[in-house]
């Protein structure tokens, strides 16, 4: 079966790739979240979830990577707080160690949406202060390679599409061509430079 290389129409369509896959492999989708569950999580987090994330959770309450020691590709109402804690703990240590040399400023601007790579150390963060073609870009950060230049994706749609193709064993060359911002730091930097700033 040919891999769906064309960009999905939106993040919901990207998530449906997982739902309709004949062989789930290393991922599991959760059932849809209720509005009440989302509101309860927002109250606990002290902030409203980004709209595109809310829309996804009403379809499926997160996407779990099933490898040992890993986490959620996409956090759900029961795991978003834990994802933030798992990121924040080593980030505080890193910030104390690097001081002004820290790769970026973590705060309310970035919303931890998931993990990838099966190591428990690589995170996806939604940049809520920038927009690219109507969506918020996703930044990737790996605590195992803190000196690497930052990379990511133009949107949550692209991130989920990438996760699906990686899980399905897409060739490296195909991934590099389809997602230049993930594999070429200069392309990611250029994308952010042209992004709309959200106030």
The predicted-structure confidence for 77-116, as pLDDT tens digits, reads as follows 999 999 999 999 999 999 999 988 888 888 888 999 999 9
Separation CA 121–CA 195 (nearest Å): 27
CATH number for region 25-197: 3.40.1580.10
Cβ–Cβ under 8 Å, residues 136 and 152:
no
- Is 183 in a helix, a strand, or coil? helix
- pLDDT computed for residue 117 by the predictor: 84
The pLDDT confidence band at residue 33, using thresholds 50, 70 and 90, is very high
Domains of the chain by residue range: 25-197
Q: What percent of the chain has pLDDT over 90?
A: 72
């Amino acid at each position: 079966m040919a891999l769906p290389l064309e960009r999905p129409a939106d993040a919901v369509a990207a998530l449906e790739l997982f739902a309709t896959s004949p062989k789930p492999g290393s991922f599991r989708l959760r059932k849809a979240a209720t509005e009440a569950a989302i509101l309860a999580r927002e109250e606990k987090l002290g902030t409203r979830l980004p709209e595109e994330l809310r829309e996804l959770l009403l379809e499926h309450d997160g996407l779990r990577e099933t490898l040992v020691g890993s986490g959620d590709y996409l956090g759900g109402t029961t795991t978003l707080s834990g994802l933030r804690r798992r990121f924040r703990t080593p980030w505080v240590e890193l910030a104390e160690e690097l001081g002004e040399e820290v790769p970026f400023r973590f705060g309310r601007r970035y919303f931890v949406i998931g993990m990838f790579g099966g190591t428990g150390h690589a995170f996806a963060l939604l940049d809520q202060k920038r927009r690219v073609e109507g969506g918020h870009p996703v930044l990737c950060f790996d605590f195992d390679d803190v000196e690497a230049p930052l990379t990511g994706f133009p949107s949550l749609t692209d991130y989920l599409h990438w996760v699906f193709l990686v899980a399905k064993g897409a060739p490296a060359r195909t991934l590099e061509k389809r997602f230049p911002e993930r594999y070429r730091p200069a392309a990611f930097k250029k994308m952010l430079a042209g992004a709309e700033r959200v106030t």
